[in-house]
Structures are given as C-alpha cells and as structure tokens.
Amino acid sequence: MRWKKLTVGPVQENTYILYDSKNEAIILDPGSEGSKIIQTIESLKLKPLAVLLTHAHFDHIGAVDQVREKYQLPLYIHKKEQDWLTDTKKNGSKYFGQNITAKPASHLLTDNDRSLKIGSFSFDVLTTPGHSPGSVSYYLKGAGAVFSGDALFAGSIGRTDLNGGCQDTLLKSIHEKLLQLPEETVVLSGHGPETTIGMEMDSNPFLGGF
C-alpha cells in the first residue's frame, strides 16, 4: 500500500490518495482543488473505488462532488454528519464567508461499524468524535497507518470550538482509540505533517494527562 498526500485549499487541508499494487485507489477527504486531485489520479494511472470522509467540515468536502462524479464513486461518512454535507452552517463554511456543500452520501457509517472493506483495502473504523460529532479515523493495519482527520495532529489536537465540538470528548477518543494503536503507526492527519502514535505519546503537550 502507498499513499500520496495533496495539500489543498486556503487552509492547507491534506487530501490522501491511497493505492495498492493493482492501482486501485481510495480517496480520503478531497477538500478542495478537485482538478489537482483528478490530475494526480490520472498521472498515477489509478482506478478510484470510493471516497471516504473523516468528517464533514467544509475544508474536507469542497472537492467531493467533482471527484466522485468524475469517477462515479460511492461516498462514505458517519451518519451523525450526513446532513452537514448540505448545511453550510453545520459544515462551517457559512462562518468563513463561503457556500460549500456536497451531495448526500451513499454509505452511512454508525458507531457500531468496526470495519470497512473496499477492494483490497481493509480498514478498522475508529469513531473518534470531539472535533466534530461524527469524526472517524480509518486504521489500515496492513500499511501501519491511520488517517486521523482533524482528531490528532503532529504536536496538537483538533479544535473543538466549532459546531458539536468538545475537548473532553476528543481527548477521550484519542486516548481510547488512537493511542491504543501500535506506537509505530503513522498518523496521517487532516492538516500538517505526518507523525507517529509513539511520537505523540511522548511529546504532544495536549496529551500529557495520559
């Protein structure tokens, strides 16, 4: 398994293209600059299978429709945020003077979902609310990586002052879900550089209480 990180949009959101030896791909959080994402997919000669969202804030959904309509892809999101795709107040774009929406998702995840298999990709689905109510992290054990969205960053954690955010809930999610992963697990966040679970356990100032 390999992945390509594209940093897109005015708030420098990380979109990930995960792909296997058969050149099949999963697109995670296509946040903006859909043409750039599509150009990368085409240059790598990939066949996308699905779009996965860690959550539905506007900076993570801005290119969803462009990408999935280009390739006719299913879209996965947690049920708690299904209506955020069409609600500019809930997804936050209204407060930043924008009008960013996406069409409804075809697949809704719930708190009872523990795994997700698409093609050769087998994810552990980790519900990690706190940054937003329906935040999900996707752990790919075979690749030793977790796509954490805006839950956990290198040296930081997600903001909790937006709609439905709660710092206590986020810290609980990080402790009970993410910090239980092997320390060598690569953390692929929604913003900033990659890190590892071990590095964050050792040095993240927000996690000192654990």
Q: Cα dihedral sign for 155, 161, 164, 169?
A: positive
Residue with tokens 């804030």: 57
- pLDDT (tens digit per residue) in 102-118: 999 999 999 999 999 99
- pLDDT (tens digit per residue) in 182-204: 999 999 999 999 999 999 999 99
Mean local confidence (pLDDT), 68-85:
97
Number of domains in the chain: 1
> Does residue 136 sit within a domain?
yes
Q: What are phi and psi of 114, to 5 degrees?
A: -110, -20
Give yes or no for residue 210 having a pLDDT over 80.
no
pTM across the whole model: 0.96
**Domain of residue 130, residue span:** 2-95+105-203
- pLDDT (tens digit per residue) in 85-95: 999 999 999 99
CATH number of the domain encompassing residue 135: 3.60.15.10
> Does residue 210 sit within a domain?
no
Cβ 197 vs Cβ 187: under 8 Å: yes
> Does residue 208 sit within a domain?
no
Mean local confidence (pLDDT), 70-87:
98
> Does residue 100 sit within a domain?
no
Q: What is the mean pLDDT of the chain?
A: 96
- The CA distance from 23 to 19, in Å, is 6
- pLDDT (tens digit per residue) in 15-29: 999 999 999 999 999
> Does residue 120 sit within a domain?
yes
